[in-house]
Amino acid sequence: MARFENVREENCIILKFDLKWYAEKSSDIDPQEAQQTLEIAEAALRKAEGKRQTIEANLTLRRARTRVEAINAIS
């Protein structure tokens, strides 16, 4: 199973997924794109069928929420 973590420090998000690290500054995140991605992720979770799709949708949703939270933290 994939592992997902997020750490927020000094307006930076660090995401870990399947041994790959992704980092981006909060100020580099487009608020409209992040909100749209969150809405798409929520819809994908509602439509998920089966365990695998549900897990993947939950991971996507967590990443999308973390990005939106990062934007809100600097606003």
Q: pLDDT by residue (tens digit) across 26-50?
A: 778 899 999 999 999 999 999 999 9
Task: Write down the pTM of the prediction.
Answer: 0.68
Q: Give the C-alpha separation, 19 to 70, whole Å.
A: 22
- φ/ψ region of 65 (left if φ > 0, alpha if ψ in -120 to 50, else beta) reads alpha
Beta bridge partners of 4: 17
Instruction: Give pLDDT, residue 45.
Output: 97
